[in-house]
Amino acid sequence: MEIFENAPERAYAWAQAGRGAALATVVETWGSAPRRVGAQLAIAADGEMQGSVSGGCVEGAVVVEALEAIEDGTPRLLEYGVSDGDAFAVGLACGGKIRVLVEPVGAKAMPFDVLGDLVRARAARQPVAYQVPLSGGVGRLVTGGYADRFRMDRSGVEEDGDTFVAIHNPPLRLVIVGAVHIAQALVPMAQVAGFDAVVIDPREAFGSQARFPDAQVINDWPDAAMDTVGVDTRSAVVLLTHDPKLDDPALHIALRSDAFYIGALGSKRTHASRVARLEEAGFTAADIARINGPVGLDIGAASPPEIAVSILSQMIQALRKP
């Protein structure tokens, strides 16, 4: 996951093994801070760490505070910025300022059972929010409310100035129907951007692990494969086959889902034919309007890698600026 990576899982495993652990979370930023609100660092009692709250600027100082928090079981709210005294010690060379909440896993801050429930929710692709008072107190999980935060994937401090809400959305997923050249370029780009990639194509010569070594490849008809994979609010669906026998069943499922992005390759003429078929199948104009076709931002892309860039850009635009 782009914001949290696997810091909660790591902290839970360390605590479960009796090593002691804490989670450090960026709760507020000002200026050119190097990490987003919600970025996390897991720290074990022996000093092992995973993740990042500042890209290396203040991790050392945070670890020191975390070790003390693990020892006494008390959370800490830390603040770092640039000043003459700390710019080269524990300051942020980039010129920003951050506040970091350090929570030891334990009864006084982040209960072990709460962390376990969080880890299990993430594994099950269940959106969940972690709510904690910055003034001190025990955090808890919340499954309702915060619709805007979930939609924008945005953690932050509430208007009361004390309640911090960490949004744990499922990992982003890209479902591609059609294992063509564009897909070969799009998959690694999307993976770098934080998407889990699934490539669907019943034609084994196209949809092979050799052509997509780091993606999940399913050699089945798109409707059956998409039912198995599941398409949710964190899913983008991209259709690249030009073949109605493959694209249309996938479109039917995508349009009935909560996918945040649907794109289909093809010319304007091809898309017009696609629209006519969907209307005959009973889809409304509002349903069909969800399809980005021709797929991708109009940047004059010509080659498969350029088209892949345009598609990924449009996906991110749909995700971040709905």
Which CATH number do you get for residue 219? 3.40.50.720
Q: How far apart are CA 138 and CA 110, in angstroms?
A: 6
pTM over 0.75: no
CB 205 within 8 A of CB 219: no
Q: Which of 3-12, 93-102, 204-213 has the highest mean pLDDT?
A: 204-213
Query: Please, which residues bridge with residue 165 across strands?
Result: 131, 156
Please indicate, yes or no, whether residues 133 and 176 belong to a single structural domain of this protein: no
Please indicate, yes or no, whether residues 92 and 216 belong to a single structural domain of this protein: no
* Higher per-residue confidence, 34 vs 218: 218
Helix 304-320 with 181-192: angle, nearest 10 deg: 40
Sheet holding 261-264, edge to edge: 216-218, 195-200, 172-177, 235-239, 261-264, 291-292
Average pLDDT over residues 132-152: 90
Question: 1 in a domain, yes or no?
Answer: no
**Structural domain span for residue 188:** 172-320
Helix 112-123 with 7-16: angle, nearest 10 deg: 130
Please indicate, yes or no, whether residues 11 and 142 belong to a single structural domain of this protein: yes
Please indicate, yes or no, whether residues 283 and 137 belong to a single structural domain of this protein: no
For the ranges 34-38, 171-175, 242-246, the lowest mean pLDDT is seen at: 34-38
For residue 232, give both structure tokens. Answer: 């949710």
Digit-coded pLDDT (tens) for 66-121:
999 999 999 999 998 754 344 444 455 556 788 999 999 998 899 999 999 999 99
Please indicate, yes or no, whether residues 106 and 150 belong to a single structural domain of this protein: yes
Per-residue model confidence (pLDDT) at position 4: 43
Digit-coded pLDDT (tens) for 14-41:
999 999 999 999 999 887 666 789 999 9
Digit-coded pLDDT (tens) for 256-307:
999 999 999 989 999 999 999 999 999 999 999 999 999 999 999 999 999 9
Per-residue model confidence (pLDDT) at position 33: 66
pLDDT tier at 52, thresholds 50, 70, 90:
confident
Average pLDDT over residues 171-199: 95
pLDDT tier at 1, thresholds 50, 70, 90:
very low
* Domain end (from 168, 196, 220): 168
Per-residue model confidence (pLDDT) at position 3: 40
Mean pLDDT of the chain: 90
Per-residue model confidence (pLDDT) at position 30: 82
Please indicate, yes or no, whether residues 141 and 24 belong to a single structural domain of this protein: yes
Question: 2 in a domain, yes or no?
Answer: no
User: To the nearest whole percent, how much of the chain has pLDDT over 90?
Assistant: 74
pLDDT over 60 (residue 6)? yes
* Domain end (from 168, 194, 227): 168
Please indicate, yes or no, whether residues 93 and 192 belong to a single structural domain of this protein: no
* Domain end (from 119, 139, 168): 168
Please indicate, yes or no, whether residues 156 and 284 belong to a single structural domain of this protein: no
